[in-house]
């Protein structure tokens, strides 16, 4: 399969291209160039052309890229030409922020269920959601055929909850708990840890 030959680091840049292209359409821009995209994103234009060329021919020499066409193509490549339901586990401060986050719209995702194991939170409302008992992940997530989850639970609970999600059929987990998850190879895991990003920057500070 061609897919396996594309380095993960290239795949990881595509969502950033897509995001910037969406910003451009919001400003009614119709075409762009690898130079312009590169300047906005801090990536070289050669890198952008090379990345995109791995997936096909999206632009013409001299005339650049049609933004709407490139958006459509990237959405298909990243499989966000549909909307993925998300199970959100952990209804603390961060879970609240995510459940109410408006930025999912038109980007391929929506939070569909919110879980917590705290009896004080189960049954309470966050925006449009009623918080479900984490103990019911197995049945609820599987019935709803949810494949994507976001984890905003404490470190101590992360592995156990992640395993329950995988048993229920989840194949992609975005983990906010600052701990690595040990899961079967067919499950994708990405981490969001502000400290990792902060430490990356302080390296460069005098």
Chain residues binding a copy of itself by CB under 8 A are 9, 11-12, 14-16, 18-20, 23, 40-42, 77-80, 84, 86, 92-94, 96-98, 100-101, 103-104, 107-109, 147-148, 150, 171-172, 174, 178-180, 182, 188-205
Contacts of 88 (CB under 8 A, 6+ apart): 95, 98, 99, 111, 113, 114, 115, 149, 150, 152
Neighbours of 105 (CB within 10 A): 10
Nearest residue (CB) to a copy of itself, 63 versus 202: 202
On the CB side of 182, CA atoms within 13 Å amount to 3
Report the nearest approach of a copy of itself to the CB of residue 130 (Å).
Answer: 18
Report the nearest approach of a copy of itself to the CB of residue 145 (Å).
Answer: 12
Q: Which residue has the tokens 């459940």?
A: 99
Nearest residue (CB) to a copy of itself, 16 versus 136: 16
Report the nearest approach of a copy of itself to the CB of residue 60 (Å).
Answer: 25
The secondary structure element, H or E, covering residue 125 is strand 125-126
Nearest residue (CB) to a copy of itself, 61 versus 93: 93
């Amino acid at each position: 399969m061609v897919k396996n030959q594309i380095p993960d680091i290239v795949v990881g840049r595509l969502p950033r291209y897509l995001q910037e292209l969406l910003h451009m359409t919001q400003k009614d821009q119709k075409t762009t160039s690898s130079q312009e995209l590169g300047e906005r994103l801090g990536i070289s234009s050669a890198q952008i052309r090379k990345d995109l060329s791995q997936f096909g021919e999206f632009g013409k020499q001299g005339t650049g890229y049609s933004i709407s066409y490139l958006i459509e193509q990237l959405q298909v490549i990243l499989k966000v030409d549909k909307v993925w339901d998300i199970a959100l586990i952990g209804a603390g401060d961060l879970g609240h922020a995510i459940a109410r986050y408006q930025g999912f719209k038109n980007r391929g995702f929506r939070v569909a269920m919110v879980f917590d194991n705290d009896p004080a939170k189960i049954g309470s409302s966050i925006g449009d959601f009623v918080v479900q008992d984490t103990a019911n992940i197995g049945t609820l997530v599987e019935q709803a055929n949810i494949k994507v989850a976001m984890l905003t639970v404490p470190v101590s609970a992360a592995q156990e909850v992640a395993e329950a999600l995988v048993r229920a059929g989840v194949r992609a987990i975005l983990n906010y708990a600052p701990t690595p998850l040990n899961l079967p190879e067919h499950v994708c895991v990405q981490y969001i840890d502000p400290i990792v990003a902060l430490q990356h920057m302080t390296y460069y500070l005098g």
